[in-house]
Amino acid sequence: MTTLPLRSGYTLPVFACAAAIAALRHLYDSTSRSQVTLDLINPQQSVEIPIEQVSGLGPNQALAITRSDPGDNLDLTRHTPIWALVEWAPADQTEPISLIGGEGIGINQNQGNQAAIYRYAQQLLKTNLEQYLQPEDRIQVTLILPEGRALATRTSNAAFGVVDGLSLLGTSGISQPLSAPQQLEQFRVELQHKAATQKSLVFCVGENGLDIAKTLGIPPEVQIKTANWLGPLLVEAGLQGVTSVLLLGYHGKLLKLAGGIFHTHHHLADARLEIITAHAANLGLSSPQIQSLFSSPTAEAALQFLMNLDHQTQSHWVDTVYGAITKEIDMRSQTYIYTHCDRNVQVGSVLFNRSRQLFAVSSVGAGLMERFVSNPQIDLNL
């Protein structure tokens, strides 16, 4: 039986950008286009994106609609409509292009309730729209995801402080089929390629991990995006002769490794609260506080409980509990690799919270971070 190769697609920012281009061009010439061409920037290539509908809304506004196509990827945004409303800006607008989050675009509570339109999406939109915008003109672009609010309830966005909708998140325009069963083989190939020249690698869990790695100045040639396949990829790293691995991820994902869970998708196993509570109890947290901790609705809420407890009692439970958890992550990961491939690989861990701030680094992780981090403003003494 022949397995067809997986088809890649495009990320949400690409379709938002395509809709905005179609609406802007309609403002200028009242022409309805069935597709537009745009530059993905990352990677550096031009692509054609279908436009489902475009129409003028009077002399000063135009609306265009695209529909998400993430390729052969189990992405909940598949076929969701993306609208872009483009209008001439008010006279007091100084910048050429103003981006506005409309209905279904999430609100980032960690960034002053700004629309969750992240760096790559902003760059993609402004770079492509500037090609068509006349020098003296100013526009407002309102991006709308009609189904975004409902879809957001099926994501972990709220754990990162994004509410009421989806994020226009990503570092690339290409949507790789990362959720399909065949993804592991693709990750292995990438790891094998990078391990041929790099003996120390950084495993970045998800787009947030990749984005933080970029902010830290970690070289792209050592970054490996893992999704939920941490166990098999740790073993593959050992088989390829990698000597050290730095795990960089959201604490709600990585702390599962401290409980021996090496495939981190929540459909398979989710013992996060049990792991946090067990470590807290072992370290001497009182019984009533343990019960409150265990009753937390999410791992992020459990972390917030410990932070509040530290503030109220001038204690250091966050550092103590997560210090033990990161140490356990390192030890269990190293043991897992040795058990499955008889190789010794040094593993360190770095955890960030929903505000995308690093707050827990193992002793091994701190040493590995010093090798990779090039941003002098990053404080490694957490």
Task: Examine the domain organization and report whether 195 and 332 are in the same domain.
Answer: yes
Last residue of a domain, one of 139, 156, 174: 174
CA distance 94 to 97: 9
Segment 132-171, tens digit of pLDDT? 999 999 999 999 999 999 999 877 777 777 899 999 988 8
Determine contact, residues 75/175, Cβ cutoff 8 Å.
Answer: yes
Segment 280-308, tens digit of pLDDT? 999 999 999 999 999 998 898 999 999 99
The candidate with the shortest Cα–Cα distance to 240, out of 184, 185, 194, is 194
CA distance 180 to 108: 29
The confidence band for 180, taking pLDDT boundaries of 50, 70 and 90, is: low
Task: Examine the domain organization and report whether 119 and 141 are in the same domain.
Answer: yes
User: Looking at residue 7, what DSSP letter applies?
Assistant: P
Residue 45's CATH number: 3.30.2110.10
> Is residue 256 included in any domain, yes or no?
yes
The confidence band for 267, taking pLDDT boundaries of 50, 70 and 90, is: low
Task: Examine the domain organization and report whether 137 and 29 are in the same domain.
Answer: yes
Altogether, the residues listed in the chain come to a count of: 382
Task: Examine the domain organization and report whether 69 and 163 are in the same domain.
Answer: yes
Task: Examine the domain organization and report whether 221 and 358 are in the same domain.
Answer: yes
Last residue of a domain, one of 174, 205, 220: 174
Last residue of a domain, one of 174, 190, 224: 174
The percent of residues in the chain predicted with pLDDT above 90, rounded, is: 75
pLDDT of residue 101: 97
Task: Examine the domain organization and report whether 189 and 165 are in the same domain.
Answer: no
Mean pLDDT (the chain, rounded): 91
pLDDT of residue 373: 82
Q: Which of 109-113, 204-208, 261-265, 366-370 has the highest mean pLDDT?
A: 366-370
pLDDT of residue 356: 85
> Is residue 380 included in any domain, yes or no?
no
How buried is 58 (Cβ within 10 angstroms: 0-12 exposed, 13-18 middle, 19+ buried)? exposed
Please determine, for residue 266, whether its predicted confidence score (pLDDT) is greater than 70: no
> Is residue 213 included in any domain, yes or no?
yes
> Is residue 3 included in any domain, yes or no?
no
> Is residue 381 included in any domain, yes or no?
no
Task: Examine the domain organization and report whether 236 and 362 are in the same domain.
Answer: yes
Structure tokens of 363?
Answer: 């002793």
The confidence band for 379, taking pLDDT boundaries of 50, 70 and 90, is: low
Contacts of 271 by beta carbon, 8 Å cutoff, 6+ apart: 256, 259, 261
Task: Examine the domain organization and report whether 266 and 321 are in the same domain.
Answer: yes
pLDDT of residue 378: 54
Task: Examine the domain organization and report whether 132 and 211 are in the same domain.
Answer: no
The pTM of this model reads 0.68
> Is residue 260 included in any domain, yes or no?
yes
> Is residue 91 included in any domain, yes or no?
yes
Q: Range of 319's domain?
A: 181-372
Phi, psi of 325 (to 5 degrees): -65, -45
Structure tokens of 36?
Answer: 């537009």
Please determine, for residue 1, whether its predicted confidence score (pLDDT) is greater than 50: no
Question: In which region does residue 281 sit, left (phi positive, over 0), alpha (psi from -120 to 50) or beta (all else)?
Answer: alpha
> Is residue 377 included in any domain, yes or no?
no
Structure tokens of 182?
Answer: 């065949």
Secondary structure (3-state) at 287: helix
Distance between first and last Cα of the chain: 52
Segment 35-75, tens digit of pLDDT? 999 999 999 999 999 999 999 998 899 999 999 999 877 78
Task: Examine the domain organization and report whether 167 and 274 are in the same domain.
Answer: no
The 3-class SS string of 321-351 reads HHHHHHHHHHHHHHHHHHHHHCCCCEEEEEE
User: Looking at residue 205, what DSSP letter applies?
Assistant: -
Task: Examine the domain organization and report whether 201 and 84 are in the same domain.
Answer: no
pLDDT of residue 291: 95
pLDDT of residue 268: 67
The predicted model gives 264-271 an average pLDDT of: 73
Segment 232-248, tens digit of pLDDT? 999 999 999 999 999 99
The candidate with the shortest Cα–Cα distance to 85, out of 65, 114, 106, 105, is 65
Contacts of 213 by beta carbon, 8 Å cutoff, 6+ apart: 202, 204, 223, 248
**Counted domains in the chain:** 2
Please determine, for residue 3, whether its predicted confidence score (pLDDT) is greater than 70: no
pLDDT of residue 177: 67
Task: Examine the domain organization and report whether 258 and 302 are in the same domain.
Answer: yes
